[in-house]
Amino acid sequence: MNNSQGLTLLELLIVMAIVAIFAVIGVPSFSSFVAKERLAVATNELYNGYRFARNEALKTSSSMTLDAVSGDWSLGWQVKNSAGTVLFESKVPHSSITVSASAVTVKGMGSVSSAVNYSITDATDTNCILILTSGQSKSQNGNCP
Q: Does residue 5 have a pLDDT over 90? A: no
Query: Interior CA angle at 78 toward 72 and 84, to 5°?
Result: 105
Phi and psi at 46, nearest 5°, equal -65, -40
Report helix, strand or coil for 2: coil
Sheet harboring 126-131: ordered strands across? 98-100, 116-121, 126-131, 137-141
Q: Does residue 31 have a pLDDT over 90? A: no
pLDDT digits (tens, 9 = 90+) for 46-67: 999 999 999 999 999 999 999 9
Q: What is the largest CA-CA distance in the chain?
A: 88
Domains of the chain (ranges; CATH) run 9-141 (3.55.40.10)
Q: Does residue 1 have a pLDDT over 70? A: no
Q: What is the pTM of this model?
A: 0.81
pLDDT digits (tens, 9 = 90+) for 7-17: 788 989 999 99
